[in-house]
Amino acid sequence: MRPDHRAAGLSDAEYGEIIRTLGREPEHAELMILGVMWSEHCSYKSTRRLLSSLPTSGEAVVQGPGENAGIVDIGEGWGIAFKVESHNHPSAVAPYQGAATGVGGIIRDVLAMGARPVALLDGLCLGGQSCPEAAALADGIVKGIAGYGNAVGVPTIGGKTLYDGCYNSNPLVNAMCLGLVPLDGIVSSRTARPGQLAVLIGSRTGRDGIAGAAFASSGLADDTRSSRPQVQIGDPFVEKLLVECCLEIHSKGLIVAMQDMGAAGITSSSSEIAAKSGTGIRINADLVPLREEMEPWEIALSESQERMLLIAEEEALEEIGSIADRWQLDWAVIGEVTDDGLFVMTKGGREVVSLPAEMVGGGCPSVQWPSRKPSGGVKGRGVPSGLLDPPETARCLSTILEDPNLAERSRIYRQYDYMVQTNTVVPPGNSVSIFRVRENRSFVAVTMEVDPWKCSLDPFAGAAETFLKALRPLWVSGAKHLGMTNCLNFPSPEDPENHWILERSVSGLAAVARDLACPVVSGNVSLYNESPSGKILPSPLVAVVGLQDCNSPPLRDSATLEAGSVFLVGDTQGTLGGGAFSRIITPGAEHNPGDYVPLKEKDFMERALKTVRKEAAAAGRAIAGGGLMTSLAKMCIKADIGIGLDSAVLDSDPECLFGEWGPRAVYLVPERSTELFLSCWEGFPVRRIGEITPGGLTLDGHEMLPEETRAEKAGRK
């Protein structure tokens, strides 16, 4: 029976291209392989052109996109390798294993750079809390991340979690890993030479996760249970052994090139090494350690977890083998690097696959989907929002604080070991996550953001604001950004309106990356996030890595202070569009998105960094979700302090009190530092809006934060 190319996931045009290139029809195994490797997940065919518009180079960039992870320079010969990757579809089907293997996969991506994994973060977009299905998925996802991350011994130091009904049956799980690597010890996947051997180390290959990449490249079916065989099973203990084993082999200088086996397993790892190195590779399927009898194409595409592919010289084999044996890991030479440019797989002495390596590991033609601006209009219209008296302000604030999206997340992050390795300086539950690097005595700060509501209101400004929401808290904490990684979570690009939104979102990210010199060093794309019950909101997720030397300690986002001033820096007025106030208090009302003004952001950055350098404040918090009042409430709750606000210097409209967007922050400043603080912010809007008091958050003497709310939110009740 001739396999149908469409069933393999290839379009008629792509199939025609394959026949033209090969000069023949592909064999069954070849067709299955190309179907997976030319899937969106592996090939980025719909977004390659778009992604090329993102700035990728900069002062600190050691390795940009194109490798398993990007690397930035943190000084004294050390680098941080990092990347975020989605595991959305698997987590929708089997939440525990889907999320767990997402963590495992991103750890191996960082390991493949020769880096020791030192921190994890997770971006979770979960369904509405009133939906039982979504709640079950959310619970499984969190347990999966905990189960894998805790056991593998890499701390989960932060991330981002939000809730919206659009994720009810299509949750997003974006896992990020950071690794520490000596700059002279970076491993590449483009350095293989003919005659060298391909060594597989790790778990035996089985029939799990076959063609998972293709599954991730289409919408979810109604009955997701039928997709379970396409989800992989994780074994964090083997992963731990694999990390230690590969780093030990690498420390002996025995690795020529390395690639993790993620999506499309042996096929992607070996063909990508060959394509990037400009060589061929010949894999003997008979040599692959198997758990069960498998067809050649299944061996080629299995996504069994916890496997790495190493390219090494023959002389190194004995030592590699003895190290792998000591770690009690299976290993085998499964092939060799050739000079014919072909990706060949043999079984029983017969060639079952013989394709140009470039065609498999990087040759999928780009697809240009049509774009159309959504007809309903993307921007909201400005609606005058009226004024709020203090009792109304208090009611709005307590309603906003009740919203799951504004609540604190200790129920989740307490399930993650965020301290293992003993370098976590600022743990989850803070605006920024920070770990210490002993090797060069520095602090590495990480933030993660996703804001689907602002992106659906205006994809350009919304994506830019998402990026800025990740940057501002870094600056306020005292860290200068080095680079970013992102995950573009969107519905099907084949819908012209979706595609237009995707394009505009990428433009927004590119603008900020360029204007503020925060290059993109790695990333991932996850399209087709839709199910029979609907599609997700545009959800580009951004994570930024920043650096601070250890001379000035990071500025915290709250502090227990007996007395002092509260300052607002930035515009008095924020903007309501896509923010918590419009979503929670006035649903249905349309508000404009904010404007992205690069110069203002730069001015803010310079002053925020100076404030920490000069130790001019006791605490600082970039204003984000829920605006000024929410930020102040969180400061009060966290440090158990009171703040008395002076209504004479504040406006009483929701734009001022609850508006978001743009560079704004609140600082707690001891009296003795007032002058120093003001000198740091010279030339930028800054005003004293209140003072620290013994208790309560008051506006004109009205209590904004009843004691019950305070105790409950602080977890004291």
Partner 1 sequence: MTDLVWHEHTTLPRDTGLVVLPGGFSYGDYLRCGAIAAKSPIIDAVIKHASSGLPVLGICNGFQILTEIGLLPGALLANTSLDFICDFCHVRVEREDTPFTGHYRKGEVLRIPIAHYEGRFYLPEEQLRALEEEGLVVFRYCSPEGVTGEDFTPNGSPNGIAGIINRKGNVLGMMPHPERATESLLGSSDGAPLWASVNSWIRGRLGV
Catalytic residues, by residue number, are: 41, 87
Q: Nearer Cβ to partner 1, position 251 or 679?
A: 251
Q: How far is the CB of 598 from partner 1 (least distance, A)?
A: 35
Choosing from 218, 415, 507, 586, the residue that interacts with partner 1 (CB under 8 A) is: 415
Binding pattern for the stretch 426-465 against partner 1, x by CB under 8 A and - elsewhere? -x--------x-----------------------------
DSSP 346-391: EETTEEEEEEEHHHHHH-PPP--------TT-SSPPP-------HH
237 binds partner 1 per the rule CB under 8 A: yes
Coarse DSSP helix, strand, coil percentages of the chain, rounded to the nearest 5 percent: 40, 25, 40
Q: Phi and psi of 370, rounded to 5°?
A: -70, 155
Q: Nearer Cβ to partner 1, position 218 or 421?
A: 421
Structure tokens at 117: 């994994």
DSSP 550-585: TTSPPPPS----SS-EEEEES-S--B-TTSHIIIII
Structure tokens at 221: 């079916």
150 binds partner 1 per the rule CB under 8 A: yes
Q: How far is the CB of 145 from partner 1 (least distance, A)?
A: 10
Choosing from 217, 423, 486, 489, the residue that interacts with partner 1 (CB under 8 A) is: 423
Stretch that binds partner 1, among 220-228, 233-241, 314-322, 617-625 (CB under 8 A): 233-241
Is residue 109 classed as helix, strand or coil in its secondary structure? helix
Q: Nearer Cβ to partner 1, position 415 or 533?
A: 415
Choosing from 235, 503, 530, 571, the residue that interacts with partner 1 (CB under 8 A) is: 235
Stretch that binds partner 1, among 147-155, 248-256, 501-509, 631-639 (CB under 8 A): 147-155
Distance (Å, whole) CA 114 – CA 181: 6
Residues in the chain: 717
In contact, 618 and 669? CB cutoff 8 Å: yes
Strand ranges, E, within 492-648: 520-526, 530-531, 534-535, 539-549, 565-569, 619-622, 642-645
Q: Nearer Cβ to partner 1, position 191 or 415?
A: 415
Is residue 334 classed as helix, strand or coil in its secondary structure? strand
Stretch that binds partner 1, among 144-152, 278-286, 375-383, 636-644 (CB under 8 A): 144-152
Stretch that binds partner 1, among 62-70, 418-426, 584-592, 637-645 (CB under 8 A): 418-426
Q: Nearer Cβ to partner 1, position 95 or 491?
A: 95
Binding pattern for the stretch 663-702 against partner 1, x by CB under 8 A and - elsewhere? ----------------------------------------
Stretch that binds partner 1, among 186-194, 230-238, 299-307, 363-371 (CB under 8 A): 230-238
236 binds partner 1 per the rule CB under 8 A: yes
304 binds partner 1 per the rule CB under 8 A: no
Choosing from 44, 215, 343, 416, the residue that interacts with partner 1 (CB under 8 A) is: 416
Is residue 231 classed as helix, strand or coil in its secondary structure? coil
In contact, 614 and 680? CB cutoff 8 Å: yes
Structure tokens at 313: 């010289």
Beta strand 619-622 with 665-669 is antiparallel
Residues that bind partner 1 (CB under 8 A): 146, 150-151, 153, 235-238, 240, 410, 413-420, 422-425, 427, 436
